[in-house]
């Protein structure tokens, strides 16, 4: 059977387009979060930039909101703070995130019977259904909430439904008020509408969270609060809320400004309340606060002494130290930015906080005590005289506990206060111990620089590990933990440094023995109060030591003394343990090494060499052992480099090593002195190598040389190459040399340079050895246009020398503008020039007068400790005359001064004259000065014209010696000035002399004589200055003239005549003889220069007779080498040793060529046509016949015959341009032909 498929055309109607209904339900959720920040009261200081949601601030620095709809409130934690509106209860939301299905209800038990209600939050990611016609519409889901109380049956409290359409997440919540219960409730949520199994229906229902609610408007007194509310749609989950508030307001000293970190006046022990992050006062607050600290156990009386220790520690914390970022930036040494979030043991918390300022806590004498590792003076002196059996026991930690690297964990605010690790290394310790790591947590540290300082402290403290222990009885006060003791142990120091006092008489201390004390050293004694005190030694006479100042308490006999010498320091230890001895009458004391230089190393990185504590040298310094020679190869930029390595073992007591090496029995070459156990030399050459090493101890005693076995090493072959280039360039008063190195010269040690006054290198001298990789050198101090010749070569680290370059010429600059610029700069830098150009404002004279006025002020203000004034006065109407003589002496904590002053004055009306003479000495700790000043002044005023005339003279002599900043300087100044003034126009003559001599190399002596006129501010000066000083180019003397016109005159023959004159910038010379001159430009009057005015000859710079250059002597026999002459020339005679080319020649120019019959002659080609012809051929035969022929380039040009008579013929032709000509000839018969002579000439 066959199937038939049939079909027909459809209708003409269009297909229906499905319709989607718009979303009909939407939700808005707000998150409300209340944070208890901590125990109040907080300072706060919060704003939008210091509150964060998931690490992002609410607002940026410009106040723009990063999140919309965010509100927040802050309560500082005061006892009477108000509750936060909008938060009428205590809520605790518990995340559930569980799907609710119709097959199983969701049940949650609640046991907190204080709850008032619960809030259930539901969500639907989408709610919709698609109909059969393709339309999309809403959907309905019914659900119910039941509550069972105290284990009873469930009661339905809510039955509702969600009905609508949404394509985005929709949330809703229901508050369910709870009935009274004794044990709790069970909350059940049921889905009534069955879950759809069709993929065209979206109805998934989720229980997001349940919130426990206690209805109450709580203020939370004494608790700092932060309330934040935001739209939940901005976040996928509840964000982490964080903030950066200023923390608790705590007790601080009443004289402390926590913002400026400054202390005013003396603290009276009282406190005020303020916020601070000084770790010392946070430590104190933790101890004394009752609510969360130790206040219930530690009372104020237990901290009565501790607060004074904390006051000093707090000041140390606030001191500014470099911030480590370059420049002059500083920051407080320690800060405490800590947030304590958990309960810990009190002792742990105290020690953690004390560790911030490098402190420790201990209980003693019914006091909670605290100490800090910070700079401190010696508290107590210990010698062999006051310890049991005179015995000290020393020990050191194991090498295994020596750290060379500290890994410090700190909180990085730039990364949300997450932990960051800062690595701190000490290269010296790494070389000694290898990499040994110490891990530390910097509590309260949010600064990288502070973390670095903490790491340095760990390493430096760990490195100073010498410990001491001794036993002492009831000899004065017993040092407590934290005290610094100075130990004078003669057995370790090598000489006695301490003992007991025999007698005391004021500043004279009689010791129990003759000591090694010297003037300027310090004598430290234990005072009756138990405190050690030092004084500078003024004199030593046998056992009697005189100090500069009496002690604050009079020492008593039998008390202990010690000398802190300049070459031998006392050992310093910090006491870390005091234990009562078994006998009940002694104390065992333990201390750890105290390094007073540690703080500078930590805070500023200053390197300070430790002072020696022993002068005992080893009797014999052992030599290093196992000295070995080796090598290794490395590739640098494609070049194989061989490196010599010499190693040895450590020698006992050695602090440094000196090593030498050599190749092929050459000279020993020193390696740099080192504390390492080896050295290397890269880029060596092949050869036989030897090495030797010796050890050096602290007393600079060296061991015997320890030698290594001679070893053959493979390296580079040959010697270093020559320099790639070597050039000169002119400088003002000098010549600059520049050179370049060729490839493969990385092992270069230096460039050796020689110079010579002649081009052939005669009398060559060493100029300099320039260390690699420098590529230039300047030879300065030359005269203008001075010439030298130079050569250079490479010397490598193995002592191999490369070839010399050729001699090159160099000449110092003759450029006038450059030379004058340098001279002007050097002259204007001199003290003489500065004195010459000082304006006529009488600054120096006024300085002298100021000294007079200052002396008057001292006397007038009764600042003198002892003074006497005598006065003589006479008056007749308007006429007065007065003489005052004063003598005064001043002595105070600043210095001492003596004054002797004489004042004389006479006056009639407006006309007066006075004379003041001052003699004064001033001495301070840094400077001593003596002055002798005389001032004269006369003044007259015309009452009718109001014109005032004034004349004055000031002369003074001042000497001073100063020691400022460790620079000792001696200076003397003598000044004399004369001044006359009429109606504002001043004339002045001054004479100033000054000498300066400083221990730092400052040397200067000058004198200036100057005259000048000041007309309404316009100054006209003339003067001369003499100056000698040590400039950058060495000692330099100058004579400086300052004038618009300077003229030297002569009256020879009775007629005034100018020898030479300077006018402005021009110099006019009448008659001059110049030995040598370098002239930049010259103008010579017509017909005014002849050879009679030129000495000997003129020649070029490169003239060498018969080789190069030119020379024109007076005798007329000139010589020119390699010249070009253009134009017409007349030559009587000459010789050409090369080729001569002539384009147009008048006269016959020929060239003869001799040719023997039977030979071949070649005529070379030239670029023009020539004519050639021979002399006549003469054939003579006595009998018979013969012939001769001539060929040009194998073509016959002549045949001659004789039978037997003569037959004369010639050979001739044309030689084309650029064509070579070959002449051949021959003969036949018995005759003898004559020789031919060919003549060649230009056609």
Residue 1145 reports pLDDT greater than 80: no
Tokens of 176: 């369910």
Residue 401 lies in a domain: yes
Average pLDDT of the chain, as a whole number: 83
**Same-domain pairing of 840 and 928:** yes
Q: Is there a contact between 900 and 870 (Cβ–Cβ < 8 Å)? A: no
Largest CA distance in the chain: 177
pLDDT computed for residue 407 by the predictor: 95
User: What is the spatial order of strands in the sheet that 484-488 belongs to?
Assistant: 380-383, 484-488, 571-580, 587-593, 467-472, 393-395
What residues does 629 pair with on adjacent strands?
A: 646
Of 492, 432, 440, the residue nearest 466 (C-alpha): 492
97: closest CA among 209, 233, 203? 209
Q: Which domain holds residue 49?
A: 30-242
d(CA 260, CA 276): 11
pLDDT digit string (tens) for 192-223? 999 998 889 999 999 999 999 998 888 889 99
Tell me, yes or no, whether 42 and 191 share the same domain.
yes
DSSP string, 725-745: EEEEEEETTEEEEEEE--SS-
Quote the pLDDT of residue 945: 47
Q: Are residues 230 and 275 in the same domain?
A: no
Q: Specify the CATH number for the domain of residue 501.
A: 2.40.30.180
CATH of the domain at 402: 3.30.1920
- Ranges of beta strands (E only) in 483-543 are 484-488, 498-505, 508-511, 522-526, 532-541
Residue 612 has pLDDT above 80, yes or no: yes
Reduced to 3 states (helix: H, G, I; strand: E, B; else coil), residue 856 is helix
Confidence (pLDDT) at 1: 46
Region 856-862 average pLDDT? 63
If asked whether residues 743 and 690 sit together in one domain, one would say no
CA dist list (Å): 952 to 555, 976, 989:
62, 11, 11
Kindly state the percentage of the chain with pLDDT values over 90: 38
Q: How many CB atoms lie within 10 A of CB 621?
A: 20
1182, pLDDT greater than 80: no
Q: In angstroms, rounded to a whole number, what is the distance separating the alpha carbons of residues 1109 and 1124?
A: 12
Note the pLDDT tens digit of each residue in 471-526. Answer: 988 776 678 888 999 999 988 888 888 999 999 999 999 999 988 899 999 999 99
The DSSP element (H or E) to which 766 belongs, if any, is: strand 765-771
- Are 477 and 598 in the same domain? yes
257 and 349 part of one domain: yes
Helix (H, G, I), strand (E, B) or coil at 1192: strand
Last residue of a domain, one of 440, 462, 484: 462
Q: Please say whether the beta carbons of 339 and 417 come within 8 A.
A: no
Is residue 861 pLDDT above 90, yes or no? no
Domain assignment present for 621: no
Q: What is the mean pLDDT of residues 889-895?
A: 69
Buried b (16+ CB within 10 A) or exposed e, 874-899: eeeeeeeeeebebbbebeeeeeebbb
Nearest-CA neighbor of 373 among 420, 292, 312?
312
Contact 511, 499 (CB under 8 A): yes
DSSP H or E stretch at residue 821: helix 816-828
The Cα 1002–Cα 1030 span in angstroms is 7
> Does residue 943 share a domain with residue 878?
yes
φ and ψ at residue 7, rounded to 5 degrees: -160, 165
Contact call for residues 210 and 160 (beta carbons, < 8 A): no
Task: From 863, 891, 846, 723, select the one nearest 794 (Cα to Cα).
Answer: 723
854 lies in the same domain as 937: yes
Strand partners, 560: 500
Would residue 1109 count as lying in a domain? no
Of the given ranges (434-448, 734-748, 834-848), which has the lowest mean pLDDT?
Answer: 834-848
695 and 839 assigned to the same domain: no
With residue 860 as reference, give the H or E element that holds it: helix 843-860
Angle at CA 33, nearest 5°, toward 27 and 36?
175
CATH number of the domain to which 678 belongs: 2.60.40.10
pLDDT digits (tens, 9 = 90+) for 684-694: 888 899 999 99
pLDDT of residue 162: 93
Render pLDDT for 1123-1134 as a digit per residue (tens, 0 to 9): 777 777 777 777
Q: Give a yes or no: residue 380 inside a domain.
A: no
For CA atoms 682, 685, 689, 692, give the dihedral sign: negative
> Based on the domain organization, do 525 and 557 belong to the same domain?
yes
**Would you say residue 21 lies in a domain?**
no
- Tell me if 603 sits within 8 A of 322, measured CB to CB: yes
Do 929 and 951 belong to one domain? yes
Residues 487, 568 contacting (CB under 8 angstroms): no
**Alpha helices (runs of H) in 62-136, residue ranges in sequence order:** none
Count the helix, strand and coil residues of the chain and give each as a percent rounded to the nearest 5. 10, 45, 45
Which DSSP letter does residue 576 get? E
Q: Tokens in use for 1126?
A: 């253009």
Written as six digits, the tokens of 570 are 């006392």
Whether residues 237 and 364 fall in one domain: no
Of 1040, 1063, 1085, which marks where a domain is finished?
Answer: 1040
Residue 525 lies in a domain: yes
Mean pLDDT for 825-838 is 69
Instruction: Report the length, in residues, of the chain.
Output: 1243
State the DSSP code for 1144.
S
Mean pLDDT of 1147-1167: 82
pLDDT band for position 1058 (cuts 50, 70, 90) = confident
User: pLDDT tens across 1184-1230, in order?
Assistant: 667 788 888 888 888 877 665 555 678 888 989 888 989 998 887 76
At CA 807, angle to CA 806 and CA 810, rounded to 5? 135
Domain count, the chain: 8
Find the DSSP H helices in 505-649. 598-603
> Of 694, 737, 689, 731, whose CA–CA distance to 710 is shortest?
689
pLDDT in tens, 165-179: 998 888 899 999 999
Token output for 777: 């050198």
Closest CA to 1161 of 1218, 1229, 1235, 1234: 1235
CA nearest to 674, candidates 639, 624, 615: 624
Per residue in 117-148, pLDDT (tens digit) is 999 999 999 999 988 888 899 999 999 999 99
Gap between the Cα atoms of 684 and 958, Å rounded:
64
Tell whether 1059 is covered by a domain.
no
Cα torsion 305, 310, 313, 314: sign: negative
How much is the pLDDT for 841? 43
205-214, 234-243, 1012-1021: least confident range: 1012-1021
**DSSP at 244:** -
Beta bridge partners of 1161: 1223
Task: Report how far residue 1120's alpha carbon sits from residue 362's, in angstroms, rounded to the nearest whole number.
Answer: 102
Is it the case that residue 349 has pLDDT exceeding 50? yes
Indicate the residue among 993, 1017, 1040 that finishes a domain: 1040
Residue 822 falls within a domain, yes or no? no
Q: Does the pLDDT value for residue 417 go beyond 80?
A: yes
Residue (of 897, 935, 898, 933) closest to 916 by Cα position: 935
Q: What is the spatial distance between Cα 572 and Cα 489, in angstroms, rounded to a whole number?
A: 11
Element (H, E) at 545: strand 544-547
Question: Does the pLDDT value for residue 270 go beyond 60?
Answer: yes
Task: Report the alpha-carbon distance of residue 241 to residue 57 in Å, rounded.
Answer: 10
pLDDT of residue 182: 94
Coil, helix or strand at residue 95 = strand
**CA angle (1156 as vertex; 1153, 1158 as ends), nearest 5:** 130
The CA distance from 829 to 824, in Å, is 9
Q: What is the mean pLDDT of residues 231-248?
A: 87
Please state whether the predicted TM-score (pTM) of the whole model is above 0.75. no
* CA–CA distance, 373 with 395 (Å, rounded to integer): 21
Chain-centroid distance, C-alpha 22: 70
Q: How many CA atoms lie within 13 A of 648 on its CB side?
A: 30
- The answer to whether 79 touches 222, Cβ cutoff 8 Å, is yes
Its sign, for the CA torsion 207, 208, 213, 217, is negative
Minimal CA–CA distance to 292: which of 242, 342, 229, 243?
Answer: 342
Q: Does the pLDDT value for residue 562 go beyond 50?
A: yes
Task: Write the pLDDT tens digit of every residue in 28-83.
Answer: 778 888 899 998 899 999 999 999 999 899 999 898 999 988 999 999 999 999 88
Tokens read off for 557: 């006999």
End-to-end alpha-carbon separation of the chain, Å? 125
pLDDT confidence of residue 218: 85
């Amino acid at each position: 059977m066959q199937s038939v498929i049939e079909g027909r055309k459809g209708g003409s109607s269009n297909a229906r387009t499905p319709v989607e209904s718009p979303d009909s339900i939407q939700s808005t959720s707000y998150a409300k979060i209340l944070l208890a920040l901590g125990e109040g009261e907080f300072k706060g200081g919060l704003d939008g930039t210091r509150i964060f949601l998931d690490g992002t601030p609410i607002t940026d620095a410009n106040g723009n909101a990063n999140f919309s709809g965010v509100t927040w409130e802050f309560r500082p934690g005061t006892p009477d703070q108000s509750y936060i509106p909008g938060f009428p209860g205590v809520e605790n939301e518990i995340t559930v995130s569980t799907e609710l299905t119709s097959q199983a209800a969701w049940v949650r038990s609640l046991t907190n019977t204080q709850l008032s209600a619960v809030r259930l939050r539901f969500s639907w990611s989408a709610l919709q259904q698609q109909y059969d016609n393709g339309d999309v519409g809403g959907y309905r889901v019914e659900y119910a909430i039941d509550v069972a109380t105290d284990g009873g049956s469930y009661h339905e409290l809510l039955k509702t439904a969600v009905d609508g359409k949404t394509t985005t997440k929709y949330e809703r919540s229901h508050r369910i008020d709870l009935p009274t219960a004794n044990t709790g409730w069970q909350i059940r949520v049921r889905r009534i509408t069955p879950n759809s199994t069709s993929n065209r229906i979206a109805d998934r229902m989720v229980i997001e969270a349940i919130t426990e609610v206690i209805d109450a408007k709580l203020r939370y007194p004494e608790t700092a609060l932060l309330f934040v509310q935001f739209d939940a749609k901005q976040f996928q989950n509840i964000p982490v809320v964080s903030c950066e508030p200023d923390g608790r307001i705590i007790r601080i000293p009443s004289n402390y400004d926590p913002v400026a970190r400054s202390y005013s006046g003396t603290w009276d022990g009282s406190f005020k309340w303020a916020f601070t992050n000084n770790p010392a006062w946070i430590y104190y607050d933790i101890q004394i606060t009752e609510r969360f600290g130790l206040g219930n156990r530690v009372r104020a009386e237990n901290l009565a002494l501790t607060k004074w220790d904390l006051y000093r520690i707090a000041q140390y914390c606030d001191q500014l130290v470099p911030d480590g970022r370059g420049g002059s930036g500083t920051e407080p040494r320690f800060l405490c930015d800590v947030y304590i979030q958990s309960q810990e043991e009190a002792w742990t918390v105290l020690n953690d906080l004390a560790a911030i300022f490098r402190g420790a806590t201990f209980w003693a004498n019914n006091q909670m005590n605290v100490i800090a590792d910070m700079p401190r003076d010696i508290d107590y002196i210990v010698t062999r005289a006051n310890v049991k059996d005179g015995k000290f026991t020393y020990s050191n930690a194991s090498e295994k506990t020596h750290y060379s690297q500290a890994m410090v964990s700190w909180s990085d605010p730039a990364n949300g206060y997450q932990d960051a690790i800062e690595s701190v290394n000490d290269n010296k310790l790494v070389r000694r111990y290898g990499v040994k790591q110490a891990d530390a947590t910097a509590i309260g540290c949010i600064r990288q620089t502070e973390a670095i300082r903490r790491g340095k402290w760990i390493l430096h403290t760990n490195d100073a590990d010498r410990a001491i222990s001794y036993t002492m009885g009831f000899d004065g006060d017993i040092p407590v933990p934290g005290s610094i003791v100075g130990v004078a142990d003669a057995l370790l120091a090598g000489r006695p440094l301490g003992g007991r006092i025999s007698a005391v008489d004021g500043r004279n201390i009689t010791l129990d023995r003759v000591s090694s004390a010297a003037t300027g050293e310090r004598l430290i004694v234990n005072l009756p109060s138990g405190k050690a005190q030092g004084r500078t030694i003024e004199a030593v006479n046998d056992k009697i030591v005189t100090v500069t100042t009496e002690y604050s308490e009079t020492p008593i006999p039998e008390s202990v003394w010690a000398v802190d010498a300049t070459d031998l320091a006392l050992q310093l230890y910090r006491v870390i343990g005091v234990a009562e001895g078994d006998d009940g009458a002694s104390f065992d004391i333990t201390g750890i090494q105290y390094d007073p230089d540690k703080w500078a190393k930590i805070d500023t990185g200053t390197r300070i060499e430790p002072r020696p504590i022993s002068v005992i040298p080893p009797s014999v310094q052992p030599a290093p052992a196992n000295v070995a020679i080796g090598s290794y190869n490395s590739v640098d930029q494609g070049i194989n480099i061989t490196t010599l390595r010499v190693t040895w073992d450590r020698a006992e007591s050695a602090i440094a090593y000196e090593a030498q090496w050599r190749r092929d029995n050459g000279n020993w070459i020193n390696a740099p002195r080192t504390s390492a156990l080896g050295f290397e030399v890269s880029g060596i050459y092949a050869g036989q190598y030897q090495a030797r090493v010796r050890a050096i101890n602290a007393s600079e005693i060296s061991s015997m040389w320890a030698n290594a076995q001679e070893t053959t090493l493979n390296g580079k072959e040959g010697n270093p190459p020559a320099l790639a280039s070597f050039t000169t360039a002119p400088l003002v008063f000098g010549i600059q040399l520049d050179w370049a190195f060729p490839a493969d010269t990385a092992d270069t040690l230096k460039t050796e340079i020689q110079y010579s006054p002649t081009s052939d290198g005669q009398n060559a001298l060493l100029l300099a050895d320039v260390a690699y990789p420098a590529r230039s050198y300047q030879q300065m101090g030359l005269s203008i246009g001075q010439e030298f010749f130079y050569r250079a070569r490479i010397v490598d680290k193995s002592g191999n020398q490369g070839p010399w370059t050729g001699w090159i010429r160099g000449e110092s600059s003759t450029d006038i503008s450059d030379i004058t610029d340098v001279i002007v700069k050097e002259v204007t830098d001199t003290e003489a020039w500065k004195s010459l150009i000082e304006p006529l404002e009488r600054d120096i004279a006024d300085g002298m007068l100021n000294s007079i006025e200052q002396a008057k002020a001292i006397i007038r203000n009764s600042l003198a400790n002892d003074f006497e004034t005598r006065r003589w006065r006479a008056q007749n109407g308007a006429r007065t005359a007065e003489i005052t003589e004063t003598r005064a002496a001043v002595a105070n904590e600043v210095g001492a001064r003596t004054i002797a002053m004489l004042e004389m004055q006479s006056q009639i009306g407006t006309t007066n004259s006075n004379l003041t003479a001052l003699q004064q000495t001033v001495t301070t700790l840094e400077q001593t000065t003596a002055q002798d000043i005389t001032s004269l002044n006369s003044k007259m005023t015309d009452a009718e014209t109001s014109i005032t005339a004034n004349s004055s003279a000031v002369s003074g002599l001042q000497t001073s010696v100063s020691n400022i900043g460790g620079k000792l300087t001696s200076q003397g100044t003598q000044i004399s000035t004369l001044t006359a003034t009429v109606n504002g126009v001043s004339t002045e003559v001054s004479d100033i002399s000054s000498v300066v001599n400083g221990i730092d190399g400052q040397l200067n002596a000058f004198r200036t004589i100057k005259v000048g006129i000041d007309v309404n501010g316009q100054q006209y000066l003339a003067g001369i200055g003499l100056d000698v000083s040590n400039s950058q180019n060495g000692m330099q003397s100058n004579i400086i003239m300052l004038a618009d016109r300077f003229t030297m005159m002569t009256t020879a023959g009775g007629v005034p005549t100018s020898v030479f004159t300077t006018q402005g910038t021009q110099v006019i010379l009448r008659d001059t003889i110049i030995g040598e001159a370098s002239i930049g430009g010259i103008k010579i009057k017509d017909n005014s220069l002849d050879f009679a005015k030129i000495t000997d000859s003129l020649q070029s710079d490169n003239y060498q007779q018969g080789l190069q250059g030119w020379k024109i002597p007076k005798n007329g026999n000139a010589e020119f080498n390699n010249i070009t002459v253009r134009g017409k020339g007349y030559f009587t005679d000459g010789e050409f040793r090369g080729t001569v080319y002539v384009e147009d020649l008048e006269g016959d120019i020929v060239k003869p060529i001799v040719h023997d019959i039977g030979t071949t002659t070649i005529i070379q080609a030239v670029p023009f046509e020539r004519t050639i012809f021979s002399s006549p051929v003469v054939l003579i035969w006595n009998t018979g016949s013969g012939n001769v022929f001539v060929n040009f380039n194998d073509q016959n040009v002549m045949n001659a015959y004789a039978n037997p008579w003569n037959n004369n013929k010639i050979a001739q032709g044309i030689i084309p341009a650029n064509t070579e000509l070959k002449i051949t000839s021959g003969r036949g018969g018995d005759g003898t032909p004559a020789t031919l002579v060919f003549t060649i000439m230009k056609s």
